[in-house]
Structure 1
Amino acid sequence: MFEVFAYHPDKGLQTDLTAEGVAEVIKDSRTLLWLDLMDLDDADVDLLTSVFNLHPLTVEDLIMPSARTKVEKFADYMFLVMFALESHDAGLHGKVKTLELDCCLGKNYLITCHMQPVPSLSVCKDRIRKQSPILLQGADMLLYSILDSCVDSYFPVINDFDNLVDEMSDELFRDPTQETLKKIYHLKNDVISLRRTIGPQADVISLLQRGDFEWISPSNSVYFRNIYDNLIRLNDIVGTSREVIAGAMEAYVSVVSNRLNEIMKTLTVIATIMMPLTLIASIYGMNFKHMPELNHPLGYYSVLGFMALVGISMVAYFKRKNWF
């Protein structure tokens, strides 16, 4: 399944081209073509190999999901793998979902391929339908517009993630539970995923903005620097969150350990107070016949009073020492 946007200075914008129409208009060097494919099928593969003469390795990368960002240079085009972001079930664990976007940039065409809908592409398509001059400025500026929209979509995702980290930090020092530990664990996995996604993309965009690729004009390569700067800023934000989460793991262990120490201290104080009382009760619980206190009319109450005095004295002593 594909969508096509073809602009010609004389014919204007065309969006209803078939595969045969794509093969025809691409022959005119004045035509700028954007072909967006989702869920490649055999017909799409035939179109890519026969009309655009894509390398078999490129076609394989388009079909199979890639785990990393990369840019490759071929004879007639360059191949680029990037990732968009979106929050997925953010209210539960702050999970961040990556959406792979493959791009092939040629002299007068841009091919984008993805397995799932990418909101940033929809934004660019709406701009073109509203007569935005994106297609008038060349395929490289169209690529810039798409990548810039993808990176702009990172900010709300990163901000939501940063807010979750702040909420987790507040909960950690307010009332940490096992759920807090689970949140820390999930956020740790997310921050690792974000670092693996954003960092390599900044490296790839850095290559594009240097002007080493002939399909990106020197006058337009400077625009990619803006994307690079945004990615560096995002990477710094994620790096800060990573440090906070690493500290949160240590803080959680410390808070739980302190709580356990408080519990153990309370139990120790109680046991210490009970020890002399237990000793007194054990002495008068022995089965000897000749114990004068047993026959005394006030013996029972005297022992209870003495035990209460010992207990109160020990509580007062511990309180003065601030042991509880």
Structure 2
Amino acid sequence: MKNGNGLICAYLLKEGAGQPADWDRVKTWTPDQGVLWMHLDYADETVRQWLLNESGLNEVTCSALFAEETRPRIVSSPESLLLILRGVNSNPGADPEDMVSIRMWFDEHRIITMRHRRVLAIEDIRQSIEAGKGPDSADDFLVMIANRLIDRMGDVVSDIDDRADELEDMVLTKESHELRPMIADLRRQTICMRRYIAPQRDVLARLQNERIAWLSETAKVYLRETSERTARFVDDLDAARDRAAITQEQLNNSLSEQTNRTLYILSIITAIFLPLGLLTGLLGINVGGMPGTDSNSAFAIVVALLVVFAIIQYILFKRKKMI
């Protein structure tokens, strides 16, 4: 729940625990009081005015934090870090691939995180702080938020992989009109997620090499592991996308084979009945001189001849292995 206008929550971090803070505490905070973490709603006008006029952040950083469309990115200096990451949308009724952005700014003594839609990875950190197991420094917080984002992402990627397995098993048994939307949905989901996870992999990989005074070597080791996990997720998404494409190709081939078999059967039927139709058409013209018009057995003879002719055609097609 929000602590004030645009302030979702704020804590003074110390030894894994945190003291809740409001706007008044934020505005009177000094670095000697501990590491300050502020979690803000960037769509709120109060937040905008505070960030532009009172936060001490430069205009370029503020513009990046308020940008409407964001992709994972990193901008660092020896004292501060601007980091934008994405997490799966785990909000009720939302699509997981509709990934939500978390905008973050760090220095040694202050952490500012911003979002508009709820990010459950942040909720995880809040619960850890309230349980006395939260971060106690800026680099510790950075490692924790990166891990929480990847942990929640892993469940969705695993589900995509399982769905790809199911589609491969269903391609020979499921009706095509049921299977096609499922394949299309899987491919759309993998493409949407990869759009953000791939650059996030690159951002985390680059973060390990940034020269930031307060980012410890231990934190870089943990971030390296997070980067590796993200890279594996990208590989899993690529594999799921390729498997969905192969499944789609198998389905198309199966439908093509069914269509060809149907057309082949129709062609055989046409080949058998076309000459029969020609004969019956000739015998059906209403002109003088038609043979058998005065004979009561002429119709039976004609039918018998047509049957014999059809049987001969069938035998010829059978010998030529056309049927």
TM-score by length of 1: 0.87
CA distance in 1, matches of 2:197, 2:295: 86
Q: Is the 8 A contact 2:79 2:212 kept in 1?
A: no
Instruction: Kindly indicate whether residue 62 of structure 2 is the aligned counterpart of residue 59 of structure 1.
Output: yes
Aligned residues: 316
- Counting only pairs closer than 5 Å after superposition, residues 68-107 of structure 1 correspond to structure 2 as 68-74=71-77, 76-86=79-89, 96-107=97-108
Q: Is the 8 A contact 1:39 1:114 kept in 2?
A: yes
Give, in angstroms, the shift of residue 213 of structure 1: 2.4
Match for residue 7 of structure 1?
A: 13
CA distance in 2, matches of 1:87, 1:275: 63
- Counting only pairs closer than 5 Å after superposition, residues 133-282 of structure 1 correspond to structure 2 as 134-136=134-136, 138-282=137-281
CA distance in 2, matches of 1:156, 1:52: 37
Would the alpha carbon gap of residues 159 and 320 (structure 1) be closer, same or farther in structure 2, given more than 3 Å must change? farther
Q: Is the 8 A contact 1:187 1:245 kept in 2?
A: yes
Give, in angstroms, the shift of residue 46 of structure 1: 3.3
CA distance in 1, matches of 2:108, 2:174: 59
Question: In structure 2, what residue type is equivalent to 1:212?
Answer: R
SS at match of 2:28: helix
CA distance in 1, matches of 2:51, 2:261: 68
Give, in angstroms, the shift of residue 289 of structure 1: 3.3
Question: In structure 1, what residue type is equivalent to 2:116?
Answer: M
Give, in angstroms, the shift of residue 286 of structure 1: 2.8
Match for residue 109 of structure 2?
A: 108
CA distance in 2, matches of 1:259, 1:276: 27
Q: Deviations over 1:109-153 (max 9, x none)?
A: 211111100111111111110111x333x1111111111011010
Q: Is the 8 A contact 2:78 2:211 kept in 1?
A: no
SS at match of 1:5: strand
SS at match of 1:103: strand
SS at match of 1:14: strand
Match for residue 121 of structure 1?
A: 122
CA distance in 2, matches of 1:31, 1:89: 35
Unmatched 5+ stretches in structure 1: none
Q: Is the 8 A contact 2:42 2:48 kept in 1?
A: no
Question: In structure 2, what residue type is equivalent to 1:106?
Answer: D
CA distance in 2, matches of 1:88, 1:282: 71
SS at match of 2:98: strand
Q: Is the 8 A contact 1:87 1:97 kept in 2?
A: no
Q: Deviations over 1:81-110 (max 9, x none)?
A: 10001368999xx86220101111111121
Q: Is the 8 A contact 2:89 2:96 kept in 1?
A: no
Give the aligned CA root-mean-square deviation in angstroms: 2.6
The equivalent position to 1:38 in structure 2, one of 16, 23, 41, is: 41
Give, in angstroms, the shift of residue 321 of structure 1: 5.0
The equivalent position to 1:18 in structure 2, one of 22, 37, 46, is: 22
CA distance in 1, matches of 2:317, 2:104: 73
Question: In structure 1, what residue type is equivalent to 2:46?
Answer: A
Would the alpha carbon gap of residues 251 and 197 (structure 1) be closer, same or farther in structure 2, given more than 3 Å must change? same
Question: In structure 2, what residue type is equivalent to 1:44?
Answer: V
Q: Is the 8 A contact 1:151 1:230 kept in 2?
A: yes
Give, in angstroms, the shift of residue 157 of structure 1: 0.8
Mean Cα deviation higher: 194-203 or 62-71: 62-71
Match for residue 131 of structure 1?
A: 132
Would the alpha carbon gap of residues 265 and 175 (structure 1) be closer, same or farther in structure 2, given more than 3 Å must change? farther
SS at match of 1:86: coil
